[in-house]
Amino acid sequence: MDEKQSTIVIVSNRLPVKIVRTGKKSELIPGSGGLVTAFAPVLRDRGGIWIGWDGDASGQSHKKLFTKESTAIGYLLRPVSLTPLEVQLYYEDFSNGTLWPLFHDFLDRCQFQPETWDMYCSVNKKFAHAVANNSNPGDLIWVQDYHLMLVGKCCAELGIKRKTVFFLHIPFPPWDLFMRLPWCKEIIDGILHYDLIGFQTERDRWNFIRCVRRLFPGALVSGPQRSQLIEYDGRITRVGAFPISIDFEGFNQHASSQEVADEAWYIHERLPERKLVLGVDRLDYTKGILERLKAFEILLEKYPDIHDKINFIQVVVPSRTNVKEYQEMKCTIDETVGRINGRFTHHDWVPIHYIYRNVSRRELVAYYRTSEIALITPLKDGMNLIAKEYCASSVETDGVLILSEFAGAAQQMGKSSLLVNPFHVEAVADQLHKAYYMDEGERKSRMRKLRAEVRRNNIFRWMEHFLSAAGMPLPKPHSTSTDSSDD
């Protein structure tokens, strides 16, 4: 690339768009979500670039389509093409079949196959070549998540002299679990090639530091705990915790809109005079959906006083539908819901309303707004933004958040939520009962504190803090509210 002013280059497994085909015509549909919300204005202002897989496993090139559409989006999109074999070995088998379960403490679900590791290294090199072809000296290369942990090292091996930083969106496992990975040393060495490493929580940061000390005893760790430096092999890497968040005002304003208010009223109209318990998850074994259903069943067994007065709405968003393990998981959830409803349904009361499909943002926010209780109980989670979205959408400030102590969000939101161990299903049932009978004053006090926390530490502040640590501070975003009415 020609020399130009410094900019930010985002590198992630997927681009923030989808290719949609209608007949012979293809077009790009912009993605949504917290990262797009945060990154888009910065990339537009700085003329930034986003590098990622285009989502097409055919190996076909769509460069012309992306060149044409990038103008409308406001920043450049640079697709990385992957073959079906690369998608299978790098993405499905190693990223999702090895790293995902290992980093979430599910060792028994891990596959350790040399050919998948080799492909992971190969695809990370392919992304590094994309960085070389689409960046300049002085640019900041910001690599995202566990799919691309080796990109920084691959860039160094290619002689690409850029400041490279990395953020891990999922948990980092404790050293005694991480050491089971046959390529654990190579992974740590790869991550140490970044100038800055960001984790979700202090626990994740500390787990990483312990792995460094175990695997590289010659590494020197110094500085205050919240921003430590690692000196190794002539390089210095800064390590910190940067809890990711959401666009609070975006959810708050949407929840306050008339269309969401109408949708929320309609949901409660169908389930009159009942308190609603809400669970929202992508289909995955880390989310604790079956344990949550069992907890609700125990609630109905132990506390017949709330029969006819409560409904559990569980939304499950389809995921990895072509994977047999996930298909079996869905069947088990279907059977469990059917069994529980079969035990307790009577007259016009069906205790569990199970929704298995993608839901629109309007419908999702309406469920957030109208549900008196959110049951967010993953078995392990890097952060869990559903908990934050629920609080931002609780505009009447009368919702109760029941949150897993193993979600990263618990470190920020634990004091004002009801923390639970999702494996202790009887205790979860008891906390559900407590939430049901919690008086209005306590509900509102807790939710105001939760909303204030999410408002202060929103997605824009997360990005500002991370980029400041990376040496590229941003002016205070105009999108960040300073309103403190919930304090």
SS3 state at 433: helix
Q: Please indicate, yes or no, whether residues 217 and 330 belong to a single structural domain of this protein.
A: no
> Which among 199, 224, 241 is the end of a domain?
241
Burial grade of 456 (CB within 10 A; 0-12, 13-18, 19 or more): middle
Number of H helices, E strands in the chain: 19, 17
pLDDT in tens, 27-53: 777 776 667 877 888 888 777 899 999
Q: Is residue 25 part of a domain?
A: yes
Residues 207 and 318 in one domain: no
pLDDT band at 407, cuts 50/70/90? Answer: very high
Is residue 63 very low, low, confident or very high in pLDDT (cuts 50, 70, 90)? low
> Among 2-16, 361-375, 443-457, which is the least confidently predicted range?
2-16
Encoding tokens for residue 379?
């078995």
Q: Is residue 471 part of a domain?
A: no
For residue 463, being part of any structural domain is answered with no
Q: What is the average pLDDT score of the chain?
A: 92
List CB contacts of 419: < 8 A, sequence separation 6 or more: 403, 404, 405, 410
Mean pLDDT of 157-170: 96
Residue 56 has pLDDT above 90, yes or no: no
Total domains in the chain come to 2
- Domain-terminating residue out of 241, 259, 274: 241
Residue 310 pLDDT > 50: yes
- Domain with 448, as residue range(s), is 248-456
| 389-399 average pLDDT score | 97
**480 lies in a domain?**
no
pLDDT of 72 > 70? The answer is no
Q: What is the pLDDT of residue 10?
A: 96
pLDDT tier at 75 (50, 70, 90 boundaries)?
confident
Q: Does residue 476 have a pLDDT over 60?
A: no
Q: Note the pLDDT of residue 483.
A: 39
Please indicate, yes or no, whether residues 32 and 82 belong to a single structural domain of this protein: yes
**Measured between alpha carbons, how far is 300 from 310 in angstroms, rounded to an integer?**
10
Strands of 373-376's sheet in order across: 352-356, 310-317, 275-282, 373-376, 400-404, 418-420
Give the per-residue pLDDT at 59: 59
* 433 pLDDT higher than 80: yes
Predicted confidence (pLDDT) per residue in 258-288, tens digit: 999 999 999 999 999 899 999 999 999 999 9
CA distance 146 to 170: 8
What is the C-alpha to C-alpha distance for residues 154 and 149, in angstroms, rounded to an integer?
10
pLDDT value, residue 456: 97
Q: How far apart are CA 417 and CA 84, in angstroms?
A: 44
Say if residue 76 is in the same domain as residue 190: yes
Q: Are 310 and 436 in contact (CB under 8 A)?
A: yes
Q: Are 166 and 305 within one domain?
A: no
The listed range with the strongest mean pLDDT (34-48, 315-329, 422-436, 466-480) is: 422-436
Q: Examine residue 28 and state whether it is found in any structural domain, yes or no.
A: yes
In this structure, the answer to whether residues 229 and 294 fall within a common structural domain is no
The last residue of one of the domains, among 241, 276, 301, is 241
The pLDDT of residue 252 is 98
Query: Which pLDDT belongs to residue 283?
Result: 97
Q: What is the pLDDT of residue 118?
A: 98
Burial of 224 (0-12, 13-18, 19+ CB in 10 A): exposed
Task: State the burial class of residue 289 (Cβ atoms within 10 Å of its Cβ: 0-12, 13-18, 19+).
Answer: buried
Do 200 and 326 sit in the same domain of this protein? Answer: no
Model pLDDT, residue 487 = 40
Whole-number pLDDT of residue 25: 77
**Residue 203 shares a structural domain with residue 343:** no
Lateral strand order in the sheet of 163-167: 76-80, 49-53, 8-14, 140-144, 163-167, 196-199, 235-241, 227-232, 220-222
Q: Which one has a higher pLDDT value, 391 or 477?
A: 391
Identify the CA nearest to 11 among candidates 176, 90, 124, 177. Answer: 124
**Same-domain check for residues 73 and 23:** yes
Residues 419 and 307 reside in one and the same domain: yes
CATH (domain of 298): 3.40.50.2000
Which range is least confidently modeled, 292-301, 455-464, 468-477? 468-477
pLDDT confidence of residue 39: 87
Residues 297 and 232 occupy one common structural domain: no
Band of residue 2 on the pLDDT scale cut at 50, 70, 90: very low
Is residue 482's pLDDT more than 60? no
Mean pLDDT of 81-101: 97
CB atoms < 10 A from the CB of 481, how many? 15
The Cβ-side half-sphere exposure at 116, using a 13 Å CA radius, reads 21
Give Dmax over CA atoms of the chain in angstroms.
72
Q: What is the per-residue pLDDT for 480? A: 38
The C-alpha atoms of residue 11 and residue 24 are separated, in whole angstroms, by 29
Lowest-confidence segment of 61-65, 118-122, 348-352, 435-439 by average pLDDT: 61-65
In a domain, 1, yes or no: no
Mean pLDDT is lowest, of 8-22, 104-118, 315-329, 473-487, for 473-487
Whether the CB-CB separation of 18 and 46 falls below 8 Å is answered with no
Q: Are residues 284 and 218 in the same domain?
A: no
Global confidence as pTM: 0.93
Tell me: the pLDDT tens digits for 199-252? 999 999 999 999 999 999 999 999 887 789 999 999 999 999 999 999 999 999
Residue 466 lies in a domain: no
211 belongs to a structural domain: yes
When pLDDT is cut at 50, 70 and 90, the band that residue 57 belongs to is confident
